[in-house]
Amino acid sequence: MHIYSTGSCNGQKREGLARVLIERDSGKTGLTFHYYDTTSKRCLMQGLIDGVLQLDASYHVVLVTSSRLALEKAEEGEGPNRDLIYELYRVLMAKGCTVGGRFSLS
């Protein structure tokens, strides 16, 4: 199963959205999530989290993003948006999902 996420944001209003596509053998589901007081990268990350929350079972998940994520820095307790990276890991573990593939795309 693949979860794709892209984020966009109006920098002046700090309102944004994530477009998420969940692709599994049974088909594709497109979702849009709206966020406030945010940035484009935070929208992207929150989209991954909200996409995982839609899952009804444990899956091996390939997360695909439109932007590079600072995963290595987050593992060292540094870098931007590490709160959302930690939340994504927490949600994946709570759902019993494993992660592979192109998670840290550049």
Return the CATH number at 26. Answer: 3.30.420.10
pTM of the model: 0.85
71 in a structural domain? yes
Contact 28, 6 (CB under 8 A): no
87 in a structural domain? yes
13 in a structural domain? yes
What is the percent of the chain with per-residue pLDDT over 70, rounded to a whole number? 82
Residues in the chain with pLDDT values less than 50: 104-106
Check residue 27 and give its pLDDT. Answer: 94
44 in a structural domain? yes
Check residue 86 and give its pLDDT. Answer: 87
The count of domains in the chain is 1
106 in a structural domain? no
Check residue 106 and give its pLDDT. Answer: 32
